[in-house]
């Protein structure tokens, strides 16, 4: 099985059977996973910070760095494959409190709040969420069946989508 790795401030969308999409070392960042069971379409983003709309004119602006600009783009990419808002199942991960300088600004909490605002505004609901806490996470979704493997600390759980 080939793995598509999503790094910080990046995203991936794929319908390649036999592949998976994975992100590692998810701390205060937000990972949003979308899956369309009928199309066997998986999407994942790994966003670092909550708000970037006021930074779009900067020369090095990366829309996937920010939750408020990344989430709409992730949905739009899925629509290009034929998915609809109603066919996509959404899952949230990360937004932890990491004991470092980032904790001073409550980045994890702010990332989650930014996600909630966008989803609420667009009438989209999370199927499940694994957010908060103080542990780093690894998230992987298999494109064939939508199975999500969540590794957190010394434990691992499997999440069946839609």
* Domain 2-159 classification at class level: alpha beta
Q: What is the pLDDT of residue 92?
A: 99
CA–CA separation, 105 vs 51, rounded Å?
A: 13
- Asked if the model's pLDDT at residue 29 lies above 90, the reply is yes
Output the pLDDT for position 104.
63
Residue 162 pLDDT more than 70?
A: no
Which is more confident, 60 or 24? 24
Question: 108: which 2 tokens?
Answer: 């994890």
Q: Average pLDDT over the chain, rounded to whole?
A: 94
16-30, 43-57, 72-86: range with lowest mean pLDDT: 43-57
């Amino acid at each position: 099985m080939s793995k598509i790795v999503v790094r910080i401030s990046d995203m991936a969308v794929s319908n390649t059977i036999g592949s998976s999409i994975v992100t590692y070392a998810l701390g205060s960042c937000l990972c949003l996973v979308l899956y369309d069971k009928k199309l066997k379409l998986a999407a994942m983003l790994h966003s670092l910070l909550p708000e970037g709309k006021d930074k779009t004119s900067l020369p090095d602006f990366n829309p996937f760095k920010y939750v408020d600009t990344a989430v709409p783009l992730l949905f739009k990419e899925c629509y290009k494959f034929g998915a609809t808002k109603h066919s996509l199942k959404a899952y949230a991960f990360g937004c932890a409190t990491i004991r470092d300088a980032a904790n001073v600004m409550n980045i994890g909490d702010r990332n989650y709040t930014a996600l909630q605002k966008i989803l609420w505004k667009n009438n989209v609901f999370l199927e499940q969420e694994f957010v908060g806490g103080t542990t780093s996470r690894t998230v992987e979704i298999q494109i064939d069946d939508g199975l999500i493997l969540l590794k957190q600390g010394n434990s691992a759980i499997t999440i069946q989508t839609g």
